[in-house]
Structure 1
Amino acid sequence: MKSLRIIFAGTPEFASAHLQAMLDSQHQVIAVYTQPDRPAGRGQKLMPSPVKSLAAQHNIPVYQPKSLRTEEAQKELASLNADLMVVVAYGLILPQVVLDTPELGCINVHGSILPRWRGAAPIQRAIEAGDTESGVTIMQMDAGLDTGDMLLKAFCPIHPDDTASQLHDRLITVGKPALIQALDAIASNQLQPEKQDDSQACYAHKMSKEEAILDWQRPAQALDRQIRAFNPWPVAITSLDDTKIRIWEAIALKESTGEQPGTLISADKDGLDIACSEGTLRIKRLQLAGSRAMTVQELLNSKKAMFSTGKQFS
């Protein structure tokens, strides 16, 4: 089996974990592509991506073009003479000329079992939809959005109480060995590409803060999934007495009360029970503006009057 010369393209923590797996393998990462540094924190200081930081630790050349559509960027990439390009949550579109540049093309590590969730937020959308299974697909990239031939799949469960953060970490656990297995098979010419069934595809569009607002006219079970899908970002939000409240943890109860949706039914150490169109949502952990996230019991110790029964969330 030959050692592949690989360009790695990725940006967030999910990508850096897969880069580390490649660095620990027999294959050679000859260059890293990542998004330009972004301002972060209160001081809005320019910060490198997790992938850039890891590459710097290993003295790997880092390229940060704003686009790969320019002739200059394409020539620079071609000069690296890579066998393969591995793309993991990079954030830039690869034009056809780039897809065709490495001898073996470009492959992508995608955080769902394709073709179920194509697009930018497969982890969150799977939880929001109530899926019970997810995984990672290694695919050969083409000009479409996550439409390329599938090379290898690694499955994992979605537990009933999973947040997006927890599923993200589980997908890293299954994704890293799957990527190395795929690279080894590519180096040995042992993979059999599988076409996707486009009729089974759903689009996992980006998360937005506007979507984070809870609608109490929905069933409690749907709100529970929304809260878990939006944790850790952008975090579900509701209002009480014109005060914005971020909801970090809740559970759906089957019992319905007949109260108007959004009505606070009870508030005690077990949580805040709020009427929904179907069932009741019990909030367990929440956060007021300017404060840290805390349990309902902690909040009631200082803000009990705020959560009197009969009040209306909106």
Structure 2
Amino acid sequence: MTSPFPQSYPSTRLRRLRQSAWVRNLSSENHLTPDDLIWSMVVHDGDEPTIPVGSMPGLFRLNVAEAAKAARRASELGIPAIAIFPHINPERKDDAGSEALNPDGLIPTVIKAMKDAAPDVGIICDVALDPFTAHGHDGVIDADGYVLNDQTVDLLRRQAVMQAEAGADIVAPSDMMDGRVGAIRDALESAGKVNTMIMSYAAKYASGFYGPYRDAIGSASALKGDKKTYQQNPANSDEALREVAMDIDEGADLVMVKPGLPYLDIIRRVSDTFAVPTIAFQVSGEYAQIKAAGERGWIDEERVMMETLLCFKRAGACGVITYFAEAAAQILNA
């Protein structure tokens, strides 16, 4: 078999392109900029400005006022968008996740405050019920604890419209119910929100990397069982392409692969196959591992943080949702 790279030593010395910073930068195949970052942010409905999340060192839940300040920081740093996730008072939770549909609830209030503070920063809202349900699942459950698809989709479409009417630029269904993207697209069109974008969690795996996030939004202790009946099997790759194809056909503008680092192969396959904007989500477990190892001196935290973000670009992602967005943007702007 003829090699596609017929160069040979010593006429070709690949180290020539690595000998100094300027030539390494010049010959880099991929580059990371603040434009590639989406700031993953947890907001809460209390008065306390910031509340630390024990399982995610350095991460804080922000109240409405602090979230607005963070939006201004994002604008100053050149971070184009923020993805917000809610932590609500447990007293407001029920089995149907009714608080998710409250037009005066936490998420609509935060959207309005952040858009007022920084109109140029895009706001992405998670469309899912798990932060609002007493049982911690992403939808309505039956007596056996099985999440009911169609009943859940009806609630999600109403939730998405409410978020769009509050000013969200992108609604991001993360529930993995079948048919929810099409239902949300139809609902947005009917509501006159034709320019609201949908970023589908198209390939969201039933992963062990979500634990710290569930702690951050307050669903960890409430969750009964697991989410394997609706989130994707980590053993499958072709299935991800089917999920993505269906979501694009139903009206998704952007698609996401979640988690990030353990699924770089999926990011590459999705990006190459569909040529649509593909987002990687560097999830809470990835963040926590890097922070914990950095605190112990086992790795160079800053270097590993930047290396992982660049890996997503190399794999084909056009953007990365990450809890490291603010820190990474500060380094990139230095």
TM-score range (shorter-chain normalised) is under 0.3
More helix per residue: 2
More strand per residue: 1
- Which structure's CA Rg is the greater one? 1
Give the TM-score normalised by structure 1.
0.27
Give the TM-score normalised by structure 2.
0.25
| More RCO (CA 8 Å, sep 6+) | 2
